[in-house]
């Protein structure tokens, strides 16, 4: 912080920011197609209380990921994901235990977990914590991930794997391997255009307009993805308010469309926006 001696400057905790980001994303209302304080969006198996339990189960793991990044900071970037994955899978299991097997934050764990791990790696290397250095770190840790896990896999198991085979979409893996390029290009430059809740709603609209969200494709095909992208782009062009967002919420619920991937990237954007 400006003016404070280095020893007293606020130490930014990415794990704390990640936990706060999940809660801010959940509570943002109205939020088209997604669980919020008003309704469950396009979900039959999720509600606000379930997401709170999921966040409580996941939060302790963010510090574990950061600590792992510090511990392995001097090993090559290419081995980091193998070192991180067991903890990531254990965190997913904690989420499933808390939600009775419902997938609330699998993508959020992956994306925010990588940010926490990368922050620990920067600490271990005594390098500054900045948007640029952190996202480059994530990209280096995930280098080759799409080729190894999507292009090299003949049969598909998950939504993300199916969509790569069908449409070449790379989902959460591709976004991480590109150092959260969608967030850095489509959201962060516009972060301060709005204030308060509108800031996060604006960011979510920009993400829905730009992000090839694998959730939308798995629920509504490419047509479903295009519908949401075009709808969000139109609101950004003509202007929007809470009534317009509530109308979009009804439209997505009627089509069972849920931009869960964009919800995760909104949490990523919130974390990155707090960094220099
Ligand atoms: C690498 C993994 C993410 C592999 O998972 P998968 O093969 O499934 O990959 P994706 O489909 O690409 O992504 C999985 C989740 O990531 C979110 N997501 C989707 N698109 C994007 C995108 N373009 N950028 C970033 N993130 C994206 C999304 O997660 C959210 O939605 C889920 C809730 O929605 P819902 O529709 O309800 O989901 P389902 O229950 O599946 O459908 P229904 O049955 O309800 O219809 C929720 O997960 C949100 O977070 C995608 O779902 C990763 O899983 C992996 O390998 N994990 C192992 C652990 C690990 O490696 N950790 C390392 C760091 S700790
Ligand atoms: N608020 C939300 N509703 C539905 N899916 C989500 N994935 C992440 N956040 C979500």
pLDDT band of residue 142 (cuts 50, 70, 90) is very high
- Which of 21, 25, 257 has the most ligand 2 atoms within 8 A of CB, as the residue to mutate? 25
d(C-alpha 64, C-alpha 183), whole Å: 24
What pLDDT is recorded for position 3? 42
Find the 74 Cα to ligand 1 centroid distance in Å: 29
Atom index in ligand 1 nearest the CA of residue 214 equals 20
User: Does the beta carbon of 40 sit less than 6 angstroms from any atom of ligand 1?
Assistant: no
Q: What is the mean pLDDT of residues 130-156?
A: 91
What pLDDT is recorded for position 161? 87
CB 137 within 8 A of CB 122: yes
User: Does the beta carbon of 264 sit less than 6 angstroms from any atom of ligand 1?
Assistant: yes
Find the 200 Cα to ligand 1 centroid distance in Å: 21
- Which of 141, 160, 168, 255 has the most ligand 1 atoms within 8 A of CB, as the residue to mutate? 160
Interface confidence, given as ipTM, is 0.93
pLDDT band of residue 55 (cuts 50, 70, 90) is very high
- pLDDT tens column, 191-210: 999 999 999 999 999 999 99
Find the 16 Cα to ligand 2 centroid distance in Å: 19
What pLDDT is recorded for position 204? 98
């Amino acid at each position: 912080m400006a003016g404070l001696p280095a020893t007293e400057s606020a130490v930014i905790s990415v794990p704390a920011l990640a936990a706060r980001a999940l809660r801010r994303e959940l509570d943002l209302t109205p939020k088209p197609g997604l669980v919020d304080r008003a309704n469950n969006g396009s979900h039959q198996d999720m509600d606000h209380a379930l997401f709170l339990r999921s966040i409580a189960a996941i939060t302790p793991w963010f510090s574990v990921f950061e600590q792992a990044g510090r511990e392995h900071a001097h090993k090559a970037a290419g081995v980091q994901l193998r070192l991180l994955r067991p903890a990531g899978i254990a965190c997913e299991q904690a989420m499933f235990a808390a939600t009775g097997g419902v997938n609330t934050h699998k993508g959020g764990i992956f994306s925010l977990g990588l940010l926490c791990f990368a922050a620990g790696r920067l600490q271990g290397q005594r390098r500054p914590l900045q948007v640029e250095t952190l996202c480059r770190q994530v990209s280096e840790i995930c280098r080759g991930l799409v080729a190894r896990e999507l292009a090299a896999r003949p049969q598909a198991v998950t939504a993300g794997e199916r969509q790569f085979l069908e449409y070449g979409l790379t989902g959460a893996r591709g976004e991480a391997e590109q150092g959260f390029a969608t967030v850095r290009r489509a959201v962060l430059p516009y972060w301060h255009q709005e204030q308060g809740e509108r800031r996060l709603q604006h960011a979510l609209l920009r993400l829905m307009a730009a992000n090839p969200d694998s959730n939308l494709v798995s629920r509504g095909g490419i047509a479903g993805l295009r519908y949401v992208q075009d709808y969000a782009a139109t609101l950004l062009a003509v202007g929007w308010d809470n009534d317009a967002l509530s109308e979009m919420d009804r439209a997505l619920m009627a089509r069972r469309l849920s931009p869960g991937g964009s919800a995760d990237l909104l949490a990523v954007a919130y974390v990155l926006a707090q960094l220099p």
